């Protein structure tokens, strides 16, 4: 019998707490929420999937990626190609290969296929990009975003170009959203406690020491890249089923930055941070959206002018980061107090000096 | 021959724009390791400052009516003020935080500025006519070149020359270069951190105003997203040039401008819409060959 509890026993609480908390939110929304509020909740669950996917790569490797939203694009279009009725496809998307043109799959098969498709592309591109490190890798992922967006906005016969593809079956509700988020959290958790996840975090904290201990940085990064692309591909597919239309503009800079902000606001090195960031930002957005619509105070309604929502959210983001530069969760995970892993070691002084320069 | 000359001028003028943008980002990155994603919104702010705030369709030209000898200094001042204020209010508190945190803070600031402009001016594009005579072509060795292109190139060259003189010949320029090389060491040798950083922000803001003027003259309309594209390419250029290297940023800006124009001219017609994909693909390839950028400053070498 070993003296220390296993890794799973030390950490299993984090995903359970997160998934349970989301289940409560889903149940409350389902029971009491209006139609519009239900949609907001689904959007939040999809954002959780995206941000958790980002966390798998960004949080474990320490590299900032601007390119992950392109995997969302790949997933969303893949599910669109697979699920739109062939009659509609033959009119709008003439350039598709014949087997794809006649395919029509149910959502629960098309969504995993979309995830695997995104993961496959990530495997191919990641083999090239993951050789880079630091800011060069971030810019290369930016390049990936640019390439994917440019191709999907202009390859008219296959992607419908700048316009939207319509006719994707709208099969999303709060429960499917919750399942998606739960799957994302479980995958992210399993990756984080895996051998590869541990190795990758070692390269994040001290690349040289990790590499001297026999860790193949490129290989571990590639694994994380593919896993995160899979999660975000799933998220993209669910997003397509949520809106029932896709267009390339939805998968570009705005989404990239909004999701990155959510991750950083929550705490980019922790899974709890990824989820907490999305929940906090979604609550804020919903709050200000309602304030803009107007709040009844006695006989008066007070409404904020349009546009205040975005300005307030930007300012709140800045203020949160000012006072909590490591995010709302300060990069910690939800755990019982006194558990051994909760006490994090302070960062060595030398790393702090290195960051100064 | 004339076609080639045309391409050369297109490349130079587009490259000038990117180079000016890259310079604005590289200066700030050099002194505080901040990638300023709000730069594109600084550009848009300077353009919109020429109009009186209103959400009507017809633009009320305000500062834009001033004679150019007043308008240009005024806009440069606005750009510098906005940039310095953002340092004082926001970025000062983010020194020594994680670069990702700083980057997201700058993005959030840009988000605030953009939506402030949207609230004040609405999202309709508005026309603003500045120096219409610059749109006329001039004949140069048989090619018809828009006057504006020539002016853009000349302005960029003047700005670059002035900046080189400033950085190499003045005390403040020396301090700034020292700070970009090794900030801690520069402070220990008596460089005032706040002064240098404020100066970098002021120059960067003026560069944003210059880009705004050129863009507004070129397109004749104001548009909320007009700075964002330049900012993106400029950001990529600073990395390709070697982060922290000012000549590298300028060279890479010109290089990307040239690459876009050459792809546009030489790609077969069907592939032309995918020009940006080729440009970004080329960026990735350059990074693979030279991950540290084309010009690597000494300070960027990784030490163990």
Give per-residue pLDDT as tens, A129-154: 998 887 788 888 988 998 999 999 98
For chains A and B, CB pairs below 8 A equal: 138
Give the pLDDT of residue A350: 41
**Nearest residue to B284 (alpha-carbon basis) of A66, A18, A35, A51:** A66
- What percent of chain A is modeled with pLDDT above 70? 91
Pairing of the two strands B137-140 and A165-166: unpaired
Does B239 lie at the interface with A, CB-CB under 8 angstroms?
yes
Q: What is the ipTM of this complex?
A: 0.84
Largest Cα–Cα distance in chain B? 60
Measured between CA atoms, the residue of chain A closest to residue B37 is A257
A202-225 tens-digit pLDDT: 999 888 999 999 999 999 999 999
Please report which residue ranges of A93-173 form alpha helices under DSSP H: 98-101, 107-129, 134-154, 156-159
Q: How far is the C-alpha of A253 from the C-alpha of A231, rounded, in Å?
A: 19
pLDDT at residue number A298: 65
pLDDT of residue A357: 36
Please state, in angstroms and as integers, the Cα–Cα distance from residue B33 to each residue in A47, B25, B36, B219, B243, following that order.
Answer: 29, 10, 9, 33, 9
Higher-confidence position of B43 and B242: B43
Contact A118, A240 (CB under 8 A): no
* Mean pLDDT, residues A59-82: 94
- What pLDDT, on the 0 to 100 scale, is given for residue A349? 41
Please state whether beta strands B137-140 and B143-146 pair in parallel, antiparallel, or not at all (unpaired).
antiparallel
Per the structure block, which two tokens stand in for A227? 């896993």
The predicted structure's pLDDT at residue A219: 94
Reply yes or no on whether the pLDDT at A315 is more than 80. Answer: yes
**pLDDT tops 50 at residue A257:** yes
pLDDT band at A355 (very low <50, low <70, confident <90, very high): very low
The string over B191-204, giving b where at least 16 C-beta atoms fall within 10 Å of a residue's C-beta and e elsewhere, is: bebeebbbbbbbbb
Instruction: Choose the closest CB to B108 out of A140, A318, A357.
Output: A318
Q: Please tell me the distance from the alpha carbon of residue B79 to that of residue B206, in angstroms, as a whole number.
A: 5
For range A237-251, the mean pLDDT: 93
Beta-carbon contacts of B120 under 8 Å, excluding residues fewer than 6 positions away, are B48, B53, B54, B55
Instruction: State the Cα–Cα distance between residues B285 and A140, nearest whole angstrom.
Output: 9
Is the Cβ of B129 closer than 8 Å to some Cβ of chain A?
no
Give the β-pairing of A300-302 and B221-222: unpaired
Least confident of A175-189, B118-132, B217-231: B118-132
From the list B115, B184, B283, which residue is nearest A310 (CB)? B115
| pLDDT above 90 for B202 | yes
A163 vs A133: CA distance, rounded Å: 36
Is the confidence at residue A41, as pLDDT, over 50?
A: yes
Please state, for a pLDDT cut of 90, what percent of chain B lies above it: 25
Of B37, B101, B277, the CB nearest to A321: B101
| Short-list B18, B260, B16, CA closest to B152 | B16
Top-confidence residue, B18 or B32? B18
pLDDT at position A192 over 90: yes
Task: Return the ∠ at Cα B114 (arms to B110 and B115), rounded to 5°.
Answer: 120
Each residue of A81-122: pLDDT tens digit?
A: 999 988 888 888 888 888 888 888 999 999 999 999 999 999
How many C-alpha atoms does A249 have within 13 Å on its Cβ side? 6
Return the half-sphere exposure (C-beta side, CA atoms, 13 A cut-off) of residue B36.
31
Q: Which residues pair with A341 in a beta bridge?
A: none
CB distance B191 to B203 below 8 Å = no
Between the ranges A103-107, A216-220, A324-328, B261-265, where is the mean pLDDT highest? A216-220
Calculate ∠ Cα B212-B217-B219, nearest 5°: 95
The answer to whether B264 faces chain A, any CB pair under 8 Å, is no
Quick check: A299 contacting B, CB < 8 Å?
no
Whether the predicted pLDDT of B52 surpasses 60: yes
Q: What is the separation of C-alpha A184 from the centre of its chain, rounded to a whole number of angstroms?
A: 9
Q: Give the closest-approach CA distance of A2 to chain B in angstroms.
A: 37
């Amino acid at each position: 019998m070993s003296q220390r509890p296993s890794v799973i026993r030390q950490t299993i609480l984090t995903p359970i707490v997160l998934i349970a908390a989301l289940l409560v939110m889903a149940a409350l929304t389902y029971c009491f929420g209006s139609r519009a509020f239900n949609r907001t909740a689904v959007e939040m669950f999809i954002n959780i999937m995206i941000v958790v996917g980002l966390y798998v790569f960004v949080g474990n490797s320490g590299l900032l990626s601007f390119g992950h939203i392109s995997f969302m694009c790949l997933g969303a279009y893949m599910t669109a190609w697979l699920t739109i009725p062939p009659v509609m496809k033959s009119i709008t998307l003439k350039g598709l290969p014949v087997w794809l043109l006649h395919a029509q799959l149910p959502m629960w098969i098309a969504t995993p296929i979309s995830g695997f498709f995104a993961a496959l592309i990530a495997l191919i591109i990641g083999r090239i990009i993951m050789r880079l490190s630091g800011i060069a890798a971030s810019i290369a992922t930016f390049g990936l975003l640019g390439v994917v967006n440019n191709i999907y906005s202009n390859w008219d016969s296959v992607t419908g170009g700048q316009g939207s593809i319509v006719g994707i079956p709208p099969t999303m509700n709060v429960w499917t959203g919750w399942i998606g988020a739960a799957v994302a959290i479980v995958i992210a958790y399993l990756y984080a406690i895996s051998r590869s996840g541990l190795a990758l975090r070692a390269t994040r904290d001290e690349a040289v020491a990790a590499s001297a201990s026999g860790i193949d940085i490129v290989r571990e990064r590639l694994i994380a890249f593919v896993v995160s692309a899979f999660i975000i591909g799933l998220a993209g597919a669910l997003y397509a089923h949520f809106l029932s239309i896709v267009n390339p503009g939805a998968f570009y800079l705005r989404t990239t930055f909004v999701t990155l902000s959510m991750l950083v606001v929550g705490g980019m090195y922790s899974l709890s941070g990824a989820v907490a960031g999305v929940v906090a930002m979604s609550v804020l957005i919903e709050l200000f959206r309602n304030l803009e619509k107007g709040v009844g105070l006695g006989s008066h309604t007070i409404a904020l002018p349009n546009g205040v929502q975005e300005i307030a959210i930007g300012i709140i983001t800045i203020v949160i980061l000012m006072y909590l530069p490591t995010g709302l969760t300060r990069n910690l995970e939800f755990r019982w107090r006194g558990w051994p892993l909760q006490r994090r070691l302070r960062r060595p002084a030398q790393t702090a000096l290195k960051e100064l320069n | 021959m004339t076609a080639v000359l045309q391409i050369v001028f297109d490349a130079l003028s587009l490259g000038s724009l990117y180079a000016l943008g890259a310079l604005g980002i590289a200066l700030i990155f050099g002194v505080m390791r901040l990638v300023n994603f709000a730069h594109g919104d600084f550009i848009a702010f300077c353009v919109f400052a020429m109009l009186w705030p209103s959400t009507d369709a017809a633009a009320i030209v305000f500062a834009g009516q001033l004679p150019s000898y007043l308008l240009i200094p005024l806009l440069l001042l606005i750009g510098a003020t906005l940039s310095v204020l953002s340092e004082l209010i926001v970025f000062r508190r983010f020194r020594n935080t994680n670069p990702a945190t700083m980057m997201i803070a700058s993005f959030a600031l840009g988000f605030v500025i953009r939506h402030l402009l949207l609230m004040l001016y609405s999202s309709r594009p508005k026309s603003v006519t500045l120096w219409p005579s610059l749109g006329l072509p001039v004949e140069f060795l048989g090619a018809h070149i828009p006057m504006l292109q020539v002016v853009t190139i000349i302005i960029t060259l003047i700005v670059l020359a002035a900046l080189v003189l400033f950085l190499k010949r003045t005390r403040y320029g020396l301090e700034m270069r020292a700070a970009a090389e090794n900030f801690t060491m520069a402070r220990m040798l008596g460089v005032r951190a706040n002064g240098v950083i404020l100066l970098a922000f002021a120059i960067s803001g003026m560069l944003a105003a210059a880009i705004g003027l050129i863009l507004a003259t070129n397109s004749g309309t104001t548009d909320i997203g007009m700075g964002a594209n330049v900012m993106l390419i400029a950001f990529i250029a600073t990395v390709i040039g070697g982060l922290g290297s000012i000549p590298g940023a300028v060279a890479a800006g010109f290089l990307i401008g040239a690459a876009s124009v050459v792809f546009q001219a030489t790609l077969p017609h069907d592939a032309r819409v995918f020009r940006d994909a080729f440009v970004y693909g080329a960026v990735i390839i350059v990074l693979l060959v030279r991950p540290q950028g084309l010009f690597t400053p000494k300070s960027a070498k990784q030490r163990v």
